[in-house]
Structure 1
Amino acid sequence: MRQVAGILGVATLVAAIAGCSSPPPAAPPSFAPPTTLTAQNLQPPAQIGALPQVIYDPCTWIPDSVVSKAGYNPASRQRYMDQTTDPVSIILGCRFLDDADGRFKQKFDLHIDSANIGLAEGRRQAEATGHQLQITPININGRAGFELRDAYYGTSCFTFLATRIGYVRLHRITLPSGPIDVCEKILDLTELIEPTIGSDN
């Protein structure tokens, strides 16, 4: 289920995530995904100095069945990682290609990443690019976020979703054989990926 509000332009986004009272002390919650890909080349690198550490890892938490349903080739997944210093943040990411029918028939390049900085900071960094951005608040399966359309270049579309410690971002890039509207069905894709984040995150 999704909800979409009107376009805000570049006004400040207030991402309010409702808290709940803590139960009596008990065993810490488990954040292990129900299915984890175990290939050595996909395992996340050490998060040295990252506080808090990124929990959701797209490369090992999104099963092949979901990747295929989204229209991408599970065998194409490629690990990437980024670290910034202002503020200090860690990004764990995974790239997917829709190249099952051959690389010359690809429509989109999809990057999904998970960060340990808040949704509002993620938006601030996006706004700092200075492009002609169209930002629309969204709610995907009860999870707050926003869609970001880069109207200047017209080749990229993003959705951001809040997590317990940061955000998850889907970044779709249109290729020459892709549709004119890069944001076409981006919310359907986000709605498909969101459950892999996990309710605890």
Structure 2
Amino acid sequence: MTRNALCGVAVASLLLAGCSTQTANGESTLTELPTSTVRMPRHVDQSDRPQVIFDPCLDIPDSTLTAAGYDPTSEKNADFKGGSYTFLGCSYDSFHRPEGFYYGMNVLSGNISFAEEQEKKKDHSTPIDINGRRGLLIFDSTVTDYCELSVETSYGVLGFTRSIFSDHAGPAPVSEWCTGLEDTARTYEPLIPKGD
């Protein structure tokens, strides 16, 4: 059997790690086939937008969540599977804070463009920098105990939506609504693939 035929059988089976080649003197060697390190997204929409290559549910280690003050055991799915765009996401609760409140946060990785996000949030956003990436801090004083942040990625945006839940009656002070959210985004940003 020729070298090409041997490799063809191995590729066709997709079960072998490589294929055998035979040199002119009759010795056999093993040639490694390339393996893909890219994971298919859990959801793919019907658009021509880029695939969402960072999945908060799979790509944020428990140690990073804990370092940012969030409880990994509180994870819940928060995906949005649209026909024209996709958001892969998970929600997390922070550890209870001594001040008598905790945060509930969604981390959403989507394939809408950063320009679309800017346009959508233009009335309530401020441009910021997150570890060298463009970002938006989104604050609307009419939405009580709530703040958002978006970071530009190669495939679209990574968004954070955060609510404050208090042990006390009434809302938290307005000054607290966005406190620490930029630090959280800076903690997670290094995990985003550097494809841009």
Does TM-score exceed 0.5, indicating one fold? Answer: yes
Task: Give me the whole-angstrom Cα distance separating, in 2, the residues matched to 1:170 and 1:64.
Answer: 17
Mapping of 1:92-107 within 5 angstroms?
A: 92-99=88-95, 106-107=101-102
Partner-residue secondary structure (3-state), 2:134: strand
Mapping of 1:42-191 within 5 angstroms?
A: 45-51=42-48, 52-85=50-83, 88-99=84-95, 106-126=101-121, 133-177=123-167, 179-180=172-173, 181-191=176-186
Structure with bigger helix share is 2
Q: Which runs of 5+ in 1 are unaligned?
A: 1-26, 33-42, 128-132
Letter in 1 for 2:125: I
Equivalent residues of 2:65, 2:71 under 8 A apart: yes
Query: Which of residues 178, 190, 195 is equivalent to 1:195?
Result: 190
Letter in 1 for 2:65: V
Q: Deviations over 1:79-138 (max 9, x none)?
A: 2211345xx11110110012568xxx65110100011110121233345xxxxx531111
Distance 1:146 1:76, change over 3 A: same
Letter in 1 for 2:109: S
Task: Give me the whole-angstrom Cα distance separating, in 1, the residues matched to 2:135 and 2:146.
Answer: 17
Measured on the aligned residues, the alpha-carbon RMSD in Å equals 2.7
**What is the percentage of aligned positions where both structures have the same residue?**
28
Which residue matches 2:17?
Answer: none
Letter in 2 for 1:79: N
Q: Where do 4+ consecutive residues of structure 1 move more than 4 Å?
A: 29-32
> How many residues are paired up?
155
Distance 1:92 1:108, change over 3 A: same
Larger relative CO (CA 8 A, sep 6+): 1 or 2?
Answer: 1
Q: Which runs of 5+ in 2 are unaligned?
A: 1-33
Letter in 2 for 1:97: D
Letter in 2 for 1:66: T
> Could you state the TM-score of these two structures normalised by the residue count of structure 1?
0.67
